[in-house]
Structure 1
């Protein structure tokens, strides 16, 4: 007997045209900014810019995954969110490791390059975050997209502040501190996504267990 109150009879926001359109725009912006910011980070010697560029790369991949599972069952979206959460946490750990290495082996980055590119990235990410704000309370898949965009916007503000710090002190420490902070933010965001996705997978299994128990 069909359940008249099941969510399957309601419009699925994960397959809505507005959600897909937002993801495609976010994907294009993040892929473009990854290339631009990584090139600038390497040329300017900034670990903070490189860390932010890796965030752009991770987000672009996450948006592509979200597009791939849009409209699928909650279990598949939760599994995709698990993958995205793990990826975000791994990127954070990688950034933390390279930042620690730079403490002893890195030079002073170019503050002017950091400032200009940081402001451009902030504008791009703020626009994406505002566009995705209304999807922030959805399932783990939707929430992961919002968390990625929010983290990037916060990271961009930090990069601009680091540029001012490098310019004012002539030291690499502001750049390294911001890169380490961004790494911690990425790890924390990844853990949040993984926890919610695991909870959704667990909740999704319970009805089947109850049904099988009732049948016996």
Structure 2
């Protein structure tokens, strides 16, 4: 049995961890997978070759590359505890998806709507991870493919709406709602990642959590910055720019899911 280390520079959030896990889950030659979020590494215990695993990871578009082979892995995580952690992550992300989407539509903020879709995308990955346990590989891929197409479709609709609002004058979004909801979503992202890291290692690695939540924090901070821009410039354009960027991020995430589900 060989333990290969892969460096994945674009593994920026816990949802991408789950994408990697699902991509490798149906392979009989893989015994265990361990994530080192602090260094963005993945340790894979397997009976095949590193090249064979690279062929699975490369289509995800995360920049995965084989670093070396080692013989050490940490103690295996309790599957029941991991399922509970995934369920907590799912509840948090799904809750913020509903909350941000509702407030975003009411407050006319495309930034909040896009951030809601980003949270919904993460929630779908956690849901897929839970649903995939004990199911056939073909069903896992069907579930992932359906999720990817839904996310891609919603992101496309969002981008079209952003363009429409750029062309047609629109009411200003409510910056207070944008700031409050984005700050709460940021806190939710941190809690999610702390819970996942605690289950994985048995203790809370705050440094790893902050590294791993970097993209989500940037998205939340972008919406807050857009709200400040709305106040300063008395214009909806900062909100539209933020929304367009986040929709593009979600579309790229959907592309990764579709690549994994081939």
Normalization by structure 2: what TM-score?
0.59
Measure, in 1, the Cα distance between the counterparts of 2:174 and 2:93.
23
Selected match of 2:84 from 21, 26, 34: 21
With over 3 angstroms needed to count, the CA separation of the structure-2 counterparts of 1:132 and 1:93, relative to structure 1, is farther
Q: How do residues 84-95 of structure 1 correspond to structure 2 at under 5 angstroms?
A: 84-95=147-158
Selected match of 2:221 from 133, 137, 157: 157
Selected match of 1:123 from 160, 164, 187: 187
Q: Show the counterpart of 1:38.
A: 101
Higher mean C-alpha displacement, 78-87 vs 157-166: 78-87
Higher mean C-alpha displacement, 177-186 vs 8-17: 8-17
Q: Show the counterpart of 1:143.
A: none
Could you list the structure 1 runs, at least 4 aligned residues long, displaced by more than 6 angstroms after superposition: 11-15
Q: Show the counterpart of 1:101.
A: 164
* Paired residues, number: 180
Q: Which runs of 5+ in 1 are unaligned?
A: 1-5, 136-148, 199-216
How far did 1:8 drift? 7.4
Q: How do residues 58-207 of structure 1 correspond to structure 2 at under 5 angstroms?
A: 58-103=121-166, 104-132=168-196, 152-198=216-262
How far did 1:80 drift? 2.5
Q: Show the counterpart of 1:145.
A: none
With over 3 angstroms needed to count, the CA separation of the structure-2 counterparts of 1:132 and 1:87, relative to structure 1, is farther
With over 3 angstroms needed to count, the CA separation of the structure-2 counterparts of 1:166 and 1:31, relative to structure 1, is same
How far did 1:24 drift? 0.7
Contact persistence 1:114–1:163 (CA under 8 A)? yes
What do you get for the CA RMSD once the two structures are aligned? 3.0
Q: Looking at secondary structure, tell me which structure has more helix per residue.
A: 1
Measure, in 2, the Cα distance between the counterparts of 1:163 and 1:9.
46
Normalization by structure 1: what TM-score?
0.70
Q: Which runs of 5+ in 2 are unaligned?
A: 1-26, 34-75, 200-212
Measure, in 2, the Cα distance between the counterparts of 1:40 and 1:80.
29
Q: Looking at secondary structure, tell me which structure has more strand per residue.
A: 2
Measure, in 2, the Cα distance between the counterparts of 1:88 and 1:128.
21
